[in-house]
Every structure is written in structure tokens, then in C-alpha cells.
Amino acid sequence: MSAPERLRALLSKPGFVVMPAVWDGISAKLAAGAGFETAFLSGSCVAASRLAGPDLDLISFAEMFDSFNMVRQAAPGTLVLADGDHGYGNPMNVQRTVRAYGRAGAAAILIEDKITPRALTAGGKPCIPREEARMKIRAAVEAAKESGILILARTDCRPTAGIDEAVARIEMYVEEGADILFLDSPTDEAEIARAVAAAKGRPSFAVLSPGAPRATPDRKRAAELGFKIGTYPTGMLSPAIAGMKAGLAALVAGEAESKAALSPAELRETLGYGAYEEQAKRFLAKG
């Protein structure tokens, strides 16, 4: 069964799917080791790890795709939702992006309707006109037929164009054949309910990390509201950064490591030294 087929089967089952946000090999390996069947290759996490900065559409397709390949190699059994951003251009660019991720083994890909390049400000998410957004999703759905990869259609227009326009776009994306729907930045549960209803029974996706200016229900409430998938972009990233800061503070203080550091044995086990040794034994030269 292909990755898209496995994800379709998972989404057809009852229950809420928790999708950790990953960005490289070790984050993907740890998520898989914790028992998560799915993961979201998050643009914000990749931007943080590669650029040491915010997610303001500075990451390129090549950088995201390289990160995807790291994730796939480290956790080949994980069903990965790739962040395709705005598709990196017009509908033809969208098709190239979708086909590339489909051929590489992604289970699903997110395509959004933000204007790119974005205005020189960190605030607001102006979006392309509705019919241009339609054509991007139409192109994505057509390109997805090659591999079966699922299309997650995201609208970012709520803050700049209002909830009515955002709901209309979700309805439009359903008409075009999108598999998963995503309203970014809902302000309250009433808006969430409208977006879920507009998805007409198809899975709805939510970002559930706290701290952003959006409605962020807890996991139980998110499921009650009709969300099927929840991702947590800061769930591993923020503790990872905190751990690195603690390690640096320990070095500044003259210590060898922070109190939160793994034991040498646990670190080696996590990184797979033992597994490497077992695999390498097969290739030892005799004599």
C-alpha cells in the first residue's frame, strides 16, 4: 500500500490524528520512535532550523525538498504531510511541486493561497484572488493523479479578507477535489464550525500550538469541533531550542552539560550506534 493509500485509510478511521511537526532526520526519527504514524514537514520548523529565523516565505522549494528527503530517510515508514507553501509560483509551478513530492513518497502536500513574494512586513497574509486560488488547487489535484498524493488546500485569507471569503474558498477547494481542508487563523469556535461544515465531510486540519493570534482548542475540543488532524509546530521545536539554550548556559557556567542532558548511553542508543554495529557486522572482511 502506498503512503497516500495508507493515509487515506487512516483518515477513514474514527479518532483524531495527532501529527507532530518535524524538520530533519532526528526530529522525524524521534517522532516515529514515540509511536506517531504521521508527521507534518513544517515550513516554520524548517525555516527555524535552516535560517535560524521566522517563517516569512524565505525558504525555497529546494531547501524544503531536501528536508523532506532527510525526514523520509530517517523515518521511512512515517506518513509525511509536506508543506508545499504556495507551490513556489503559478499553477505550473504547483504541478511541479506536487509531482516532485508525490514521486518522492509524501503522503500529502499542503498548498496555500498567500501572495508571494510577500510584502516586506511580518504582519498579515494577503492572498491571491479567489479564481487564481482555484486554478492553483485545480492544478494540484490534476498533478496528484500521478502518485495519488493527497492535496491539503489551505486558505490564509481570514485575517485580510474575512471569514465569509475564507469559507467560500474552502467550499471552492472541495469542488475542485481537495482531500483535506485548512482554514488558517480562525478567531473563534463559530468560525471553526463554519469551516468544518464547508469541508462537507472531508477531513479538516488545524494548527494547535499555542501562542498565535487564532483560536486554539485543546485536542479533545478540537475533535469535538470536527477537526480530524491537529499539528503542533512548536511541540518539539520549542523544547529543542530550550534544550540547546540550557546546554550553552551550562558551558558558559563551566559545566560539561546541562542537567537535562541525556546520559551518554541513552544518547548513543537514540542515535543508533548499536543498530549500526549490528548492520555493519554483515560486511566485515574475513581472514
pLDDT digits (tens, 9 = 90+) for 103-140: 999 999 999 999 988 877 767 789 999 999 999 999 99
pLDDT band, very low/low/confident/very high, at 26 (cuts 50, 70, 90): very high
Any idea which residue has 532526520 for its cell? 25
**How far is residue 60 from each of residues 56, 153, 204, 246, measured CA to CA in Å?**
11, 19, 26, 31
The candidate with the shortest Cα–Cα distance to 36, out of 3, 2, 75, is: 75
pLDDT digits (tens, 9 = 90+) for 251-268: 999 999 999 999 999 999
The candidate with the shortest Cα–Cα distance to 152, out of 4, 9, 2, is: 4
Contact 82/68 with Cβ under 8 angstroms? yes
* Rounded distance between C-alpha atoms, residue 113 and residue 130, angstroms: 9
Q: Which domains does the chain have, with CATH numbers?
A: 3-233 (3.20.20.60), 241-283 (no CATH)
